[in-house]
């Protein structure tokens, strides 16, 4: 009986020791150093391809365009590196298109994005996380489509080669082709102008 009690106490002590073992540290977040000076876009895109989960379709004329410089003072997260690469490419005339949920197309400065067919989104929640050229269908409640289109065109200055704001009068909506960051800005503006007029409110 005493032997059984001793065995039980030993087992309980061992179990308690196991519970006190500290958890394993979380794996370190992968980091990247960006050090491109007057580099070919193909060099930057080659790194970009290794940092994203999507498949990459690259335009054969991608080497056209000015040399690109992209440098960080030290290590940055992979997510930040992807964001910086996408912004740099878009700012220098390259176009990123989300062809499908798992496929990104990169077009050189000489290619028109709209000729490749930009995907159409109907809700901000559907927009890709990264910087892409997209087409967004914005339904309007109160303002006329022509007035909204004119307002948006005044906001996107100077327009990019792919910029397009088309009023869809029969649906009272606008069809916007722009980068995801600009589309999100325009969507954020909608509540401030798409309101009932004072005349309509007084009825």
Nearest by Cα to 197 from 152, 147, 139, 137? 147
Give the pLDDT of residue 14: 54
Q: Is residue 56 scored above 60 in pLDDT?
A: yes
Residue ranges covered by each domain of the chain = 32-111, 112-195
Q: Is residue 13 scored above 60 in pLDDT?
A: no
3-class SS of residue 81: helix
**What is the rounded distance in angstroms from the CA atom of residue 106 to the CA atom of residue 109?**
10
**What is the rounded distance in angstroms from the CA atom of residue 184 to the CA atom of residue 24?**
40
Give the pLDDT of residue 113: 78
Q: Is residue 202 scored above 70 in pLDDT?
A: no
Give the pLDDT of residue 7: 44
Identify the residue whose tokens are 């007035």.
147
**What is the rounded distance in angstroms from the CA atom of residue 107 to the CA atom of residue 60?**
8
DSSP 30: P
Hey, which residues does 165 pair with through a beta bridge?
176
CATH class held by domain 112-195: alpha beta
Average pLDDT score over residue span 39-53: 94
**What is the rounded distance in angstroms from the CA atom of residue 124 to the CA atom of residue 138?**
10
3-class SS of residue 46: helix
Instruction: Write out pLDDT tens, residues 183-193.
Output: 999 999 999 99
pLDDT band, residue 203 (cuts 50/70/90): low
Contacts for 114 with CB less than 8 Å, ≥ 6 apart: 162, 164, 177
Average pLDDT score over residue span 141-168: 93
Most confident of 62-66, 85-89, 116-120: 85-89
Q: Is residue 1 scored above 90 in pLDDT?
A: no
Identify the residue whose tokens are 């007084």.
202
Task: Report the topology of domain 32-111.
Answer: Phage tail protein beta-alpha-beta fold (3.55.50)
Q: Is 103 left (phi over 0), alpha (psi -120 to 50) or beta?
A: beta
């Amino acid at each position: 009986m005493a032997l059984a009690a001793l065995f039980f106490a030993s087992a309980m002590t061992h179990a308690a020791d196991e519970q006190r073992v500290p958890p394993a540290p979380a794996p370190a977040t992968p980091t990247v150093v960006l050090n491109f000076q007057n580099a070919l876009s193909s060099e930057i895109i080659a790194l970009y391809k290794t940092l994203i989960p999507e498949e990459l379709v690259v335009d054969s004329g991608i080497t056209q365009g000015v040399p690109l410089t992209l440098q960080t003072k030290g290590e940055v997260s992979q997510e930040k590196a992807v964001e910086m690469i996408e912004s740099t490419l878009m700012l220098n005339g390259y176009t990123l298109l989300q062809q499908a949920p798992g496929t990104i197309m990169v077009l050189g400065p000489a290619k028109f994005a709209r000729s490749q067919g930009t995907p159409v989104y109907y809700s901000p929640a559907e927009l890709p996380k990264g910087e892409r050229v997209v087409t967004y269908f914005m339904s309007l409640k109160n303002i006329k489509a022509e007035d909204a289109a004119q307002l948006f065109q005044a906001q996107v200055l100077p327009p990019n080669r792919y910029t397009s704001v088309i009023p869809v009068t029969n649906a009272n909506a606008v069809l916007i082709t722009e980068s995801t960051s600009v589309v999100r800005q325009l969507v954020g503006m909608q509540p401030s102008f798409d309101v009932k007029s004072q005349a309509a409110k007084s009825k």
